[in-house]
Amino acid sequence: MSETVSAWQLIASGDATLFSIVRLSLSVSLAAATIAVIVGLPLGAFLALARFPGRSAIVVVLNGFMGLPPVVVGLTVYLLLSRSGPLGELGLLFTPAAMVIAQSLLVLPIIAALTRQTIEDLWLEYREELTAMGVGPAGQVATLLWDGRFSLVTALLAGFGRAAAEVGTVMIVGGNIDGFTRTMTTTIALETSKGNLPLAMGLGLVLIVLILLINAAAWGVRLWSERRAG
C-alpha cells in the first residue's frame, strides 16, 4: 500500500491490494453474520416462545452480551485457538477462519437478542389468532419469523455492521498479516500507527461508503418486497 497515494486514487486505479483487503473484510463479516443468523435466529425464536425456569436470566445475559467488548472476544478466541490452547490442533490462529469464528461470537448475541425481542412482540400480537386457527408450534415459529422479516433483516444488518466495523477482534486473532488477514479496519489501524493519517481516513470513508451501500441495497429490497406483499 503506497504511502502518499490517497485512498480514492487507489480505488480509481483499481489497486489490487486494496480490493483484496476489501474483499477479505466483506467476506469475513458476511460469513460471520451468516453463521450468527443460522444459530441466532432459531435461538432467539425459541427464547421468545418457550417458558422455563431461568429464562429471564438467559434473556438478560443475552441482551448484555450485545455489548461484548471486541478485544475481550478476540483475546478469548486467541487463547482457545492458540497452539497452547485447547483447540490448538486445528491450527486456525492467524487465519481468516479464526476471524470468522471470533466475529460470529461477537455478532451472535445481537442477532439472537433482537430476534427474541421481535418474535416475542409479534407473538403477543398474533397469539390468539394463530391459536384460534389451530396453528401448531412449528407453524407458529415459521409464521412469526416470516412476518417479522423486516425487523429481522434490520437485526442482520446491525450484526453485519458490528462485524464490519470492529478492529479489536480481527487484529488479535488474525494478526494483521499482509495479504492474508489484513482487513480494512486493521489496515486503518496500521496506517494510523504509521502516521499515514490521510490514507487511514480515506480508507475509513471507503469502509463507511461500503457499509452504507449494503444498507441501501437492503432497504431497496425491502421496499420492493413491501410493495409486493406488505
Partner 1 sequence: MLPRPMFSALAALFMLAGVAAAQDQSIVVASTTSTQDSGLFDHILPLFEEKTGIEVKVIAQGTGQALDTGRRGDADVVFVHAREQEEKFIEEGFGVRRFDVMYNDFVLIGPKSDPAGIGGSGDIAAALVAIQSRQAPFISRGDKSGTHSAELKLWEAASVDIETAKGQWYKEIGQGMGAALNTASAMNAYVLSDRGTWLSFRNRGDLDIMVEGDRRLFNQYGVMLVNPEKHPSVQAEDGQRFIEWLISPEGQKAIAEYKIGGQQLFFPNAEQDRS
Partner 2 sequence: MRAAPSDLPLVLDGVSIAVGGTTILDRLNLTIMPGAPTLIVGPNGSGKTSLLRLCMGLAAPSKGTVSWGGRTHLPQTRRAIVFQKPVMLRRSAAANVAYGLAQAGCPRALRARRTEELLDRVGLLALASRPARRLSGGEQQRLALARALAREPEILLLDEPTASLDPAATRFVEEIILAAAQSGTKIVMASHDLGQVRRLAGDVLFLVRGHVCERADAADFLDRPATPEAAAFVQGELVI
State the CB neighbour count (10 A cutoff) for residue 55. 11
Report, in Å, the least distance between residue 40 CB and partner 2: 21
- State the residues that interact with partner 1 by CB under 8 A: 3-4, 26-28, 30-31, 33-34, 37, 82-85, 88, 91, 93-97, 100, 149, 153, 156, 175-178, 180, 192-197, 218, 221-222, 225
- Closer of 3 and 128 to partner 2 (Cβ): 128
Choose between 1 and 59: whose C-beta lies nearer to partner 1: 1
Question: Which residues, including other chains, have CB under 8 Å from residue 37's CB and lie 6 or more apart?
Answer: 111, 156, 159
196 binding partner (options partner 1, partner 2, none; Cβ < 5 to 8 Å by kind): partner 1
- In the complex, the residues that contact partner 2 under the rule CB under 8 A are 125-126, 128-129, 131-135, 139, 143, 147, 150, 226, 228-230
Give the containing element (helix H, strand E) for 8. Answer: helix 7-12
CA 76 to chain centre: 18
Under DSSP, the state recorded for 6 is -
Please say whether the beta carbons of 152 and 81 come within 8 A: no
Least distance to partner 2 from the beta carbon of 137, Å? 13
- The residue written with cell numbers 416475542 in the block is 120
Residue 21's binding partner among partner 1, partner 2, none (Cβ under 5 to 8 angstroms by kind) is none
What minimum distance in Å lies between the beta carbon of 57 and partner 1? 30
Q: CB-wise, 19 or 150, nearer to partner 2?
A: 150
Number of Cβ atoms within 10 Å of the Cβ of 93? 21
132 binds, among partner 2, partner 1, none (CB under 5 to 8 A by kind): partner 2
Angle, nearest 10°, between helix axes 137-147 and 16-49? Answer: 140
What cell was used for 73?
A: 472476544
Q: How far is the CB of 155 from partner 2 (least distance, A)?
A: 16
Q: Which is nearer to partner 2, 72 or 124 (CB)?
A: 124
C-alpha–C-alpha distance, residues 59 and 27, integer Å: 30
Identity of the residue, 59 or 144, whose beta carbon is nearer to partner 1 in the bound complex: 144
Return the number of other C-beta atoms located less than 10 Å from residue 163's C-beta: 29
